[in-house]
Amino acid sequence: MTASRSDPAGSRARRAASPAADTWWVTILYAAVGATFFWAARDPRPYGLAVGLQAILPMLALAFMVRHGRLGGFDKNDRTPASKVAYAFLMPILALALRAMMDWQILEWGRFWIPFLAIGAALLAVILLFASDIRGKLMRTVLIAALCLAYSFGLLVHLNCYYDASWGTSYESTVRAHHVSRGGRGPTMFYLDVYPWLDRPEQHRVRASRTVYGEHADGGPVRIVVHGGRLGIPWYAVY
């Protein structure tokens, strides 16, 4: 195929001429998403690889959709390869955000909000720039914006906490009560109410792993370690 004045890059011709290549690309991407989603959501070991892939796969899906200039995958009537791959954008983001919520406890959110909003807004801007089929469609734009923010949340928390090599500061406290939050179809969360720590006068409710939750009795000691964060966002772990 050759370029023309109406299509200098010959991009439309190339896309029309390579449906087999597109189908192969989508098949590989879907296989990667399917294989890694439950791995990351249920048993992410090795953790860095399992969760890191959830940060990479949405960008590969976005690159495919940018190439096609559309993000119509959330329209059930759209069956093109470019639209189907939108689900490869959705699923890893859900896994990435889920791991961030379950595995890490942010202590202070002050330095989080600017990069969080900046990454989410930049991602949404790229999508709106190339995906003309969702511009002007409010509900679809809101959905995509929420996914962009979920991706930003999961990515920032993962980078800040998992890659933090700083020495933590240990604080001793006492368990006052236990709480379990059962989220229906969502994950079960375990919390400990602890007496004042970190020079704060009020009682705090901290999230703990299932193992740590079961190891501590009411009235018993508990250790909380605070880290500075790779991105300067303080976080803590309960032991």
0.85 exceeded by pTM: no
Q: Tell me the angle at which helices 138-162 and 113-130 cross, rounded to the nearest 10 degrees.
A: 140
CA–CA separation, 150 and 155 (whole Å)? 8
Could you tell me the two tokens for 116?
């969080």
* H or E segment to which residue 174 belongs: strand 169-182
CA–CA separation, 98 and 187 (whole Å)? 9
CA–CA separation, 127 and 138 (whole Å)? 14
Closest of 84, 60, 58, 59 to residue 71, by C-alpha? 84
Could you tell me the two tokens for 151?
């991706």
Does residue 235 surpass a pLDDT of 70?
yes
Does residue 203 surpass a pLDDT of 80?
no
Note the pLDDT of residue 134.
72
* H or E segment to which residue 78 belongs: none
How do residues 129-162 score in pLDDT, each as one tens digit? Answer: 877 667 677 888 898 899 999 999 999 999 999 9
How do residues 1-16 score in pLDDT, each as one tens digit? Answer: 444 444 444 444 444 4
